[in-house]
Amino acid sequence: MPDVVFGEFADLIRSVGGDPLVAALPDVLRAQHTTGLALDLGAGTGIGTVTLADALPDSPVIAVERDPEMRTALMTRLAGRPDLRDRVTVLPGDVLADPEPGPWGLALAIHLVCQLAPEQRRQLLALLADRLAPDGVAVLDRHYGTADPKPVPETVSATVRQGDCEYQRVFAATAKPDRIHARNTYRVVRRGTVLAEHVVETTVYASDEATVLAEAAAAGLRHEFTGDRLVLLRPA
Ligand SMILES: C[S@@+](CC[C@H](N)C(=O)[O-])C[C@H]1O[C@@H](n2cnc3c(N)ncnc32)[C@H](O)[C@@H]1O
């Protein structure tokens, strides 16, 4: 059971209209000039993993992804890149449980922090502070959770055509003061008939950049923005 995104839809929905964050990533990663171990935490289907491996050709890369469906897509992506066979390792499991020993040269975490409960988020920041090499860096996106926990009625949030099927994501949420309970319904529709439907329910906590960066500082990490979508965290 996927806990965030339905793997069959993940890359398709993301591909529509381009993803500015993914577009910004290669230059930001290349600019870090690390040759140490590079990790992709919560690697999903591996868009970031391959970008990381290409940007840092002298680094061994470890991708950690707990969802078997996302990992299947990641392994399929890697199967198309035999040049990365020796250098990229995929680890099933939780990024916070039994983490890879340091020092880490670079840790990439895209759309991961926003998936974590506050306590897990602080655990992740403590882990980065502990594992990053003195000149190491973490690259995170700047979306940290829901900014405004409020209910959302069922809304079609994405529609993508593949062949003569339409792939739809319908979003709805109920709210508590500090979180939303999100329900994404993924539908494959052909000529008006629903061929498949899959519901993914998840909790997204309220958070904002000031809170997370204060937590990062408390963990011993200093931040630096790079563009409007990514932030770098380094040992203070
Ligand atoms: C929104 S997706 C983003 C995937 C990828 N980073 C990207 O940008 O395409 C978040 C991913 O993190 C994974 N994930 C969430 N919490 C995790 C954890 N504690 N350990 C390992 N993977 C986790 C989910 O299974 C999901 O594939």
pLDDT tens readout for residues 113-142: 999 999 999 999 999 999 999 999 999 999
147-155 long-range contacts, CB within 8 A, separation 24+: 147/206, 147/208, 148/206, 149/175, 149/176, 149/177, 149/178, 149/179, 149/180, 149/206, 150/175, 150/180, 151/175, 151/180, 152/180, 154/185
Does residue 3 surpass a pLDDT of 80?
no
Residue 227 pLDDT exceeds 60? yes
The stretch 19-40 carries a mean pLDDT of 95
Q: Hey, which CATH number is domain 152-205, 3.30.2220, 3.30.1450, 2.60.40, 2.20.25?
A: 2.20.25
pLDDT at 6: 83
C-beta neighbour count of 104 within 10 angstroms: 24
Please give the C-alpha separations between residue 223 and each of 95, 175, 194, 195, 212, in angstroms, as whole numbers: 21, 31, 46, 46, 10
What is the rounded average pLDDT of the residues 81-107?
A: 97
pLDDT at 203 over 70: yes
Nearest ligand 1 atom to the CA of 120 is 19
Ligand 1 atom nearest residue 95's Cα? 20
Q: Where are the domains of the chain?
A: 7-145+207-235, 152-205
pLDDT band at residue 4 using 50, 70 and 90 as cut-offs:
low
Answer yes or no: same fold for 7-145+207-235 and 152-205: no
Cα of 192 vs centre of ligand 1, distance in Å, is: 32
Expressed in angstroms and rounded, the spacing between residue 206 Cα and the centre of ligand 1 is: 18
Q: Is the pLDDT of residue 15 over 90?
A: no
- Take atom 26 of ligand 1 and give the residue whose Cα is closest: 44
Which residue's alpha carbon is nearest to atom 14 within ligand 1?
42
Q: Please determine, for residue 236, whether its predicted confidence score (pLDDT) is greater than 50.
A: yes
| Residue 1 reports pLDDT greater than 50 | no
CATH code for the domain defined by 7-145+207-235? 3.40.50.150
Tell me whether residue 86 is exposed, middle or buried, using C-beta atoms within 10 angstroms of its C-beta: 0 to 12, 13 to 18, 19 or more.
exposed
Q: What is the mean pLDDT of residues 183-206?
A: 96
For the CA of 2, the nearest atom of ligand 1:
25
User: Separation of 73 CA from ligand 1 center, angstroms?
Assistant: 13
